[in-house]
Amino acid sequence: MSPSLSTRRLKLNAFTADDAVELHALFADPETHTIGSGPFTAFEQTERWIAARVTAQHDHGLCWYALRCSETGLLVGNCGMLKGRTSFEEPEIGYLIRASHRSRGYATEAATAVLEQCQAAGIRRVWASIRPHNTASRHIATRLGMHVDHTDNDGLLFYVIDLHPTDLADQQVRRASQIVGLKVTVRDPGVKSPKDCCQDSPGQ
């Protein structure tokens, strides 16, 4: 994944140790950091958090980005990929927005850019684990095109999105053909069949 991205309103840069002071202000804010065990109480917690993301970037190519307002440079939040409760091959996406800057679409804007980067990097499936009461994050996940795949024993919702659905379907067809001993030809999705040409295209 690229260490630097940009959107209409945001600049996204992979975290470094130099971001620790600004990030800790968000993590220590009880109105902003409401997930997990709550606000950080020690600066070392933020330093360890950044160090873990830097390691994931170095070892597995997964980036976690500082989100800065393009006009002011203010750190308004963070968004990125981590192993989470899944795997490095099918990582989780996460996001956090400064309390004073919520309800402006920043999380959706940043997460959309991150998912596009995941797709470009060849990541096929991305997850998000969300508590049922976290309606804001659930709405964001839905806007991103994610859907609930399953719920664990603790009631945690696991949203997922397939970034390469055609490739995944092709793989499933090939696996099925191997099982039953059939020869299967997977059609190039860029070449229309006569049936495709007769069907109406959905409205845009």
* Domain extents in the chain: 4-189
Q: Considering only 37-51, 91-105, 121-135, 179-193, which range has the smallest mean pLDDT?
A: 179-193
| Residue 170 binned pLDDT confidence (cut-offs 50, 70, 90) | low
Answer whether residue 61 shows pLDDT above 60: yes
| Residue 196 binned pLDDT confidence (cut-offs 50, 70, 90) | very low
* CA nearest to 157, candidates 166, 148, 168, 170: 148
Tokens representing 59 are: 């070892």
Confidence at residue 167, expressed as pLDDT on a 0 to 100 scale = 55
Of 192 and 148, the structure prediction assigns the larger pLDDT to 148
What mean pLDDT comes out for the span 81-101?
94
Answer whether residue 177 shows pLDDT above 60: no
Name the CATH superfamily, with its identifier, for domain 4-189.
Gcn5-related N-acetyltransferase (GNAT) (3.40.630.30)
Share of the chain above pLDDT 70, in %: 81
pTM of the predicted model as reported, rounded to 2 decimal places? 0.79
Instruction: Write down the residue that tokens 């140790």 correspond to.
Output: 17
Share of the chain above pLDDT 90, in %: 75
Q: What φ, ψ does residue 77 adopt, rounded to 5°?
A: 165, -160
* CA nearest to 77, candidates 22, 35, 3, 127: 22
What is the rounded distance in angstroms from the CA atom of residue 148 to the CA atom of residue 135?
Answer: 13
Average of per-residue pLDDT values in the chain:
85
User: 137-163 burial, b if ≥16 CB within 10 A, otherwise e?
Assistant: bbebbeebebeeeeeeeeeebbbbbbb
